[in-house]
Amino acid sequence: AAAVAAAPATTAAADASSDRFAGLERRAAAGDADAAAELGGLLGVCWRHSKGSAKQIEETVISGMAAGVDPPRIAGTPAPPELVILLLQQAQPELEQRCAGLDRERLWKDRTRAPALLERAADAGRVEAMLDYAQYAFVGYNGPRHMLMDADEVVRRKQKARAYLRQALGRGDARALFLLGDAYASGPLENVDPLQSYAYLSAFFRSPAAQEWPPRLGELYLQTLAQHLDAQQLAQAQAQGLQLYRDFEAGAPTQ
């Protein structure tokens, strides 16, 4: 009886999500930059999003690594399982809300539209689109070989993404500090550079935007990067991170 009672609500939620998606499509086609930003973000991330509790995320990561699944890399070395789990758990609540009820098969088929939609919205000044473009600029490429075959467009998108992150910083969004640090940790927007990554991430973890993040996440990410730095480099990265944060707080341009 419980399952039967739940069915109408589930159907209603799916219908509402379908209506939301269709509405965004219409508005984006009519030139609405806000709709293009939201639609591009959904297409960029929700095709690969799976619902799950914090415990389920932990179990999935541990099982995957035990089965030989390669973890993400930080400065060329595998990320610690705890860090992977914390990063996924941190992102999950927003993704649950953002992607609720959407048809993943439809999103998969349309995912390659994400970069163009986000670029249009970012060029119109939408900060969310700037941040999303930096994360989803290469949606649709099937690995490095495919990207090499379209090298000129890949370079153009990298340049766009870098510029957008600097613009987002100039607009006072600290999330751009995290995304720049993450890019220096693993690419592909920037060449892997653990010193630069440490600097940008340490600046982010000083910011009010990071206060709701688990302290252990920032601690572990910075520890992982520090393993790639000698004492002099670490001191330089820490000093640079403090200056980046001060410049960000003052609204000064960030290099």
Pair 199, 181: CB distance under 8 Å: yes
- For position 16, what pLDDT does the model report? 63
Pair 28, 116: CB distance under 8 Å: no
Condensed to tens digits (0 to 9), the pLDDT of residues 215-243 reads: 999 999 999 999 999 999 999 999 999 99
Condensed to tens digits (0 to 9), the pLDDT of residues 10-19 reads: 555 555 677 8
Condensed to tens digits (0 to 9), the pLDDT of residues 183-204 reads: 999 988 999 999 999 999 999 9
Pair 224, 80: CB distance under 8 Å: yes
- Residue with the bigger pLDDT between 50 and 241: it is 241
pLDDT band at residue 21 under the 50/70/90 scheme: confident
Amino acid identity for residue 243 in this structure: Q
Pair 225, 185: CB distance under 8 Å: yes
Most confident range (mean pLDDT) of 11-15, 19-23, 40-44 is 40-44
Residues of the chain with pLDDT > 90, as a percent, come to 75
Quick one: CA torsion of 164, 86, 207, 182, rounded to 10 degrees? Answer: -30
